[in-house]
Chain A
């Protein structure tokens, strides 16, 4: 199997440090976590193999998104019968709108870290169970003695609050800290 030259340390850093953003991009074009993970894996493989085609100093995200977008299209063909794919029109709207938004991802990420510090302990514990342990909603529900539905609602509330906090910090121009 032919593949490109050894990716440099810098390239590996680019690849690993932008994983969340690439994953979010793919998931926004698919609306399914499981499928997005598959596509992320395929995208990573291409990004790895094509390391030598990337010109250092150019926009890595644009390059990665282009590859991810192609992978989404390929994946969508495979899934076309399953009725759980975005159509052309929607896919285009989503990808255009993402392309038009600016590059503040890292800043929003920093805002999130900041906002998390202000979560009440109980809410933080819930978020930790869900995202640190990766515990299923059902598992958390059993532990806390509530219905899965109630846990989902709580998680949603916390997430909405975090989104507002991020948006507000963004609006107020706080640098990520």
Chain B
């Protein structure tokens, strides 16, 4: 393998590890590996080291492995920086005592080693147990033993307090970033995220009582948690008064009620539950839930049917704050937030959501269309809603009974009223409904990315189940949703019934989004609803 090939290999490996290979690059990699035993060894070693690094820090995530592709330049020049393979073999020779073990300087140029070719069997010789032991190495062994003994005496943290939202502990206060040792905790309110040393990420919603047991398990005495368990943390266990819930590589929620009954809901993958008394095991598959109730001395297990709308919502699955923070950092500042209001013919007092601007009856300009213009930092933005049949069954609607703010959910004013459209044959058909949202004007730049968040919900229980999608139209690219809600299932976080997506404006500077609502329920309650929307301007992408 010549220097050029080696540089190519290193650059491809960087992509495997920090990005993603294209089909062409994967083929280049295969060709190098097929040809050169040295390349295969280096490849293996590189991957092994990467994965050891991930596990070393105990926080390998199962999230998408870093999809940056803008720097995926196959000709990326690494030659001058590191000649890893040369060094590898150079060092492999260095069985003599040396003090530059820790000298992690890599600037010195590597000598091409012609020994690396045609020695497939001999190659892994550094891989094997060495024969020569130096006195320095022996001293290191001793130092290492001492270090190991010393470390063994220190109680090791089993988890990290990785995020918090409005949280208040009543027993032991912790700060975000703290390493957590085993022991009981009581969360009075708010939400915390705890990352276990083996990799499980757990969100706990207050009020809750729980006990951190070890790197891979927690006891939940009361309250609600959801767990995201990457494959390598398989076996993560949530112990409850009734059952042990053992993860099989998945995402799930557990709720322990005041009476001790336990609900287990699986979002992805599957979990196994074990009755702590009888040892009876039950496998729960994705999108299924079970309820465990203690009757005399036996745990009764029954399928648990949540109201369908809550199937993805009753358990908090993302940190509320993080969502907002990532929008703010990754997607630039908020440009405009709009709350649809009905300020006429209302039976209940209605208020505009703080920090939102109202869109109210005064903006309805005629049947089929409504519009309003808002001043923003980027210039005026005009919002047009099309598809309203105002004289028949459309317009702005004020929901009664109204939803109330509670806990982390402070968007009651936003969710309580909406712009609404339904078609004429609503008495005979549940066909999908649609409505078009257009954002235009000097405040919207041409061919530019915007993050738009849509809110759709109706607080009346008879309103059935809705699935709403938001799709770019007329030259606007992008989509959001589907957002699912069931009437009357009140949100417990601000963004529970929100769908966010990136949309790219058309060359004339319009953002046109077609909303479609697919409805399950009785005919009278079809119709598409939009409570509000928010637009964030993306930062220009960095090249």
Contacts and interface: CB of A to CB of B under 8 A. Distances in A.
Interface of A: 1, 3, 6, 12, 15-16, 19-20, 23-24, 27-28, 31-34, 37, 40-41, 44-45, 48, 82-84, 86-87, 89-90, 93-94, 97-98, 100-102, 104-105, 108-109, 112-116, 118-120, 123, 127-128, 130-134, 136-138, 141-142, 147-149, 152-153, 155-177
Interface of B: 10, 13-14, 16-21, 23, 26-27, 29-30, 33-34, 37, 40-41, 43-57, 59-68, 70-71, 73, 76, 78, 81-82, 84, 87-88, 91-92, 94-95, 97-98, 101-102, 104-106, 120, 124, 126-134, 136-137, 140-141, 143-145, 147-148, 198, 216, 230-235, 248-249, 269, 274, 279, 281, 283, 285, 542
Chief secondary structure at chain A's binding surface = helix
Contacts of A16: 198, 216, 232-235
Contact of A163 (B81, B88, B230): B88
Given A116-B56, A160-B82, A98 B129 contact: no
Contacts of A166: 49
B44 A94 contact: yes
B130 A173 contact: yes
Nearest to B23: A83
Contacts of A156: 10, 13-14, 78, 81-82, 84
Contacts, number: 278
A93 B82 contact: no
B132 A113 contact: no
Given A168-B98, A172-B101, A102 B127 contact: yes
B91 A175 contact: no
A172 to B, nearest CB: 4
B50 A159 contact: yes
A41 B231 contact: yes
Nearest to A128: B57
Given A24-B51, A89-B34, A131-B59, A32 B128 contact: no
Nearest to B22: A84
Given A160-B82, A166-B49, A152 B18 contact: yes
A163 B148 contact: no
Nearest to B41: A97
Nearest to A134: B61
6 contacts: A23-B51, A33-B20, A41-B249, A112-B52, A118-B102, A170-B127
Nearest to A38: B231
Contacts of B26: 31-32, 83-84
Nearest to A158: B104
A156 B81 CA distance: 9
Contact of B130 (A1, A105, A109, A172): A172
Given A167-B88, A173-B129, A148 B70 contact: yes
Nearest to A94: B40
A105 B88 CA distance: 17
B73 A149 contact: yes
A177 B140 contact: yes
A34 B133 contact: no
Given A31-B30, A174-B140, A132 B128 contact: no
A28 B91 contact: no
A119 B104 CA distance: 7
A109 B269 CA distance: 30
A160 B52 contact: no
Contacts of B84: 156, 160, 163-164
